């Protein structure tokens, strides 16, 4: 993966997204999302920007971490992918789950904003 300033900026933005999502920080997430943002959750549910932001508090404190990061840039667009791991479920029980996150970013007013996000759950292997 090429590590120029733009790529590093996108990695940093995604770290901020991960942290804000796990802390339930709706205000920070709102700054990082494009006005036309949408997400496809791991259960197939599609949510627009406002619905996603309204659900932030109910999806916090899952112990999120990310690895296997990759960034691909295409002019004013970029695709960020990573494996995201959670260590708790919404009830606070210790449960390790893995998800593949794919996020599309557009440059808006010289800043990168996430416009689309798709989450796929890895199967639980015993």
28-66 pLDDT, tens digit per residue, is 999 999 999 999 999 999 999 999 999 999 999 999 999
Residue among 77, 82, 64 nearest 21 (CA): 64
> pLDDT tens digit string along 73-87?
999 999 999 999 999
Identify the CA nearest to 117 among candidates 44, 37, 43.
Answer: 37
Do residues 114 and 104 make contact, with C-beta atoms less than 8 angstroms apart? yes
What average pLDDT does the segment 108-120 reach?
A: 94
Residue 126 forms part of a structural domain: no
User: Dihedrals φ, ψ of 71, to 5°?
Assistant: -125, 130
Provide the number of structural domains found in the chain.
1
Is residue 80 assigned to a domain?
A: yes
Cβ pair 82, 70 in contact under 8 A: yes
Domain assignment of residue 21, given as a range: 5-121
- CATH number, domain containing residue 46: 3.10.450.50
The answer to whether the pTM exceeds 0.85 is yes
């Amino acid at each position: 993966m090429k590590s120029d300033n733009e790529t590093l900026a996108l990695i940093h933005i995604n770290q901020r997204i991960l942290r804000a999502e796990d802390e339930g920080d709706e205000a920070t997430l709102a700054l990082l999302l494009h006005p036309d943002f949408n997400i496809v959750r791991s259960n197939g549910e599609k949510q627009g920007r406002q619905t996603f932001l309204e659900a932030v508090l109910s999806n916090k404190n899952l112990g999120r971490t990310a690895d296997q990061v990759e960034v691909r840039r295409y002019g004013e667009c970029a695709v960020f992918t990573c494996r995201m791991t959670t260590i708790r479920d919404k009830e606070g029980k210790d449960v390790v789950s893995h998800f593949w996150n794919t996020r599309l970013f557009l440059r808006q007013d010289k800043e990168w904003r996430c416009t689309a996000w798709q989450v796929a759950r890895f199967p639980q292997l015993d």
